[in-house]
Every structure is written in structure tokens, then in C-alpha cells.
Structure 1
Amino acid sequence: MQSKFVFISGGVISGLGKGITTASIGLLLKSSGLKVSAVKCDMYLNIDAGTMNPLEHGEIFVTDDGTEADQDLGHYERFLDVSLNRENYITAGQIYQKVLERERALEYDGKCVEAYYHIPPEIISRFESIGKKAEVVLIEFGGTVGEYQNIMFFEAARRMRIKYKENVLFVHVGYLPIPPSIGEMKTKPLQQSIHELNELGIQPDFVICRSEKPIDSRRKEKVALA
């Protein structure tokens, strides 16, 4: 049976709770009898979170195999009641390091190694490896859409949609602000975030909106048409 891949991205601002959203989706799927795994992708060039200042990055989460990972893996483990490992934590640093190791080992047959041609396939291979062990793989992208650091990860996700078609789903989490000086909920920042996702070749299947107040039908329609 072909595994399903669900990508979770964020827009407008960081700190929207993508990790909890990802874990919650996973719990719902697991409650339906599916075998679920989750992956956190961070866009920094660090190999892991172990050497990062916790005051800047937040507390780290240590998996059973000793991997010093992002705290979102702790949410995944608690919600899904599973033990995760180094496979479930991917950083841009890990990907670039692996590509450079392959280049030094002459695995690219003397070709010019370029980010666009060689980085996305390496990312995809990591996702597919996890997919062999689960029916549904949830993949959370750190940061927000539009940042230059995550372009190669979104490109990998776009290529997976082409390759696996209906077995790939995109969920976008965004914020609907209510500026105090206006007192009215604004949809434009989230709409712009969705447009930026579209420019990367990705159309979200679901948009999860975070706001301080309930969202009316008119604004839901605006977001849906973005």
C-alpha cells in the first residue's frame, strides 16, 4: 500500500502552533486505525539542535537514540504515543552535509553539484525512507512560507506531489490578525501567504486559521478563494 504524505506549512508569523497542529492531525489519523509517523524539518544549517542556545531556539527534545532535536518531536511522541528517532528530525545542515559527502565519494559521477538538482532529491529520499514504515507521514516545515531558507524543502514537496499525486496533501496554518487600532479581523496577510505558497507551485488542500476571535463565513470565503 502506498504511503500518504501530509505537509504542514505556516504563514504570516511564526509560533502559530504548527507542532501541536501536526500532532493533533496525527492523533486523529491514528484514532482511525492508521499507522502514523511525523517528521520535523528545520531550515538552519546546524546538524541538530544540541549546540544551539535554548534561550534563542527553545528547549531541545532528546529522543531514545540520543538525537538532540526540536521540541516539536516531544509533541509528536506524546500525542501519537510513539518513540521517534533521528530519522524523524531533518535539518538543512544534515541534507547539505549528506550531499557533500556523496560528492566527495564521487557518487555524482563528476557532475556539477547544484542545490536545485541535488538537494531536493536528498530531502525526498529521507521522506520516502520514513514512508516505508508508516501508512501516513506528517511532515512539518519550520519557519514560514516565503523565507529563502526553506525553498529547497518546498521544492521537494512540490516534486513529491507530482510523483505521488493524490497521496500527497498540503495543510497551511496561518494567522488572521486583529490590529488594536482597527478592531477588525484582516485576511490579507494570510491571503498573501497562500499566494506565496502558490508561487512555489503548491496549492494548499486545507487552510487552518488561527485568530483571537471566531472567524465568520465571509472571511472564510476570502481565504478559501486566495
Structure 2
Amino acid sequence: MAFAHGIIISPDQIRIMQNNRTHVQINADHQLFVRGEWVTLEDDDTLLLAQYSQGLRRFVPEIVSIAVDGVELGLSSIEAMFSGIGSQAQQAEWRELVRETTFQWMSRFVRSNDHFYLAPQSLNELDYFLHDELKPQLDNLARHTVGAVWGALRDALRHSDSNFERSDNQDWQSVGQMVDKINLGLDAKAVELEEKSALFCQRMQELDEIEKQLQQRLPELKRYDVVSQKQ
């Protein structure tokens, strides 16, 4: 199952996006606009539209939250390592590196208070995002960035009166432990997605059926097959 268009959910509206433009808008679960034109609805149409809108409102935020929470968990684990290490300028530089690296991933999932955005993608792609894209990227970022933290700390201590030295093996063991913590958290999010996948697919199939009924009754919507089953 897949979403063929971007979806924005807000308390009063649902917007179906294509190329960063709103093509379909549902207001208050019962008012429909297609390409900016108000569509007059019969009572049965309004009932179907409300079912469709409410289904999206229950479903999309849950998917977005799983993805966003996974990213935030990885970020918080990395940033916890920054606390108290290096100068304030170094800490700011490392945090900026982390946030720049994750910005491109998070363009696919946005959660801001009670507003949600989901980019076009399938459930399989979301699973791939957590397993095969986010985890390796955070892993590499953690090893590069936190390795630099330990390197800076080691160099500073080597030049101090204490003549403290830490072996590279000890450095990477500490970094590895932190990376393991990040991966455990991301694995938990992936497992949560897997556990809910059957329910998600069932909900999407139900939404797909409602959408097909709406398209039969409202030809204006036939161009916007939002929920689809991948062949």
C-alpha cells in the first residue's frame, strides 16, 4: 500500500499535495475543493468524504510520529554525548552538523504540534527509511562526529599536566556503545512499525475502498488516487 501524493493534516483541513501545490482540500471533514473550485456534494457524498477525511486523520499522524520519533531518538542519543565535551563553539558546530545531515531525511515527515505532513511513499519505503537509510546514516554520523569529540578531548588531555592518554580502542569502544544505543532505539521503532504493518495495510485498504467510491461519485477526484495498492 502506498500514498501517491503528499498529505498535510491540520485541525481544520486536509490538503492533498502535488509538486508542492494543493490540488485537493477538505475543510472540517465535509467541504471539498478540487483545484481551488468548491465541489457541491450530495448527502451520501458528504458522508463518504467525512469517512475518508477521518480515516486520514487517524492514520497519517501515526505514521509520521513513528518516523519522526525514530529520528529524534537518534539525535538525542548523539547530542547527549556532546554535553560538557569541547568548547561551546565546538558543541554548536557538531549540533549543526547533525541537524543539517538529518534535515534532508525529515523533509519526508513533518510533525509540528497538531500539524502533520507525509510525503508520497509506500509502507515498504517507510520501513526501508528506518532500517536501511536512517540507521546507517546515523551510525556513520555518530562515528564521525563523536569520534571527533573524543579525538579533541584526547588531544587536550595529552597536552595537560596529567599527561592523560586514552587508547584508540578505548575511544572507539565508547563510541561503539553509543552507536549501539542509537541502533537499539531505531530497532524499537522499526519493530513498532512491523507490529502495526498489518493494521496499517488494513486501514489503507479501507481508505482505498472509500476513495474509489468517492471517485465514482465525484469524477473530479479521479485524477487524485491518493491511496493505492502497489502492484
Fold-level similarity (TM above 0.5): no
Which protein is richer in helix relative to its size? 2
**The TM-score by the shorter chain falls in which range?**
under 0.3
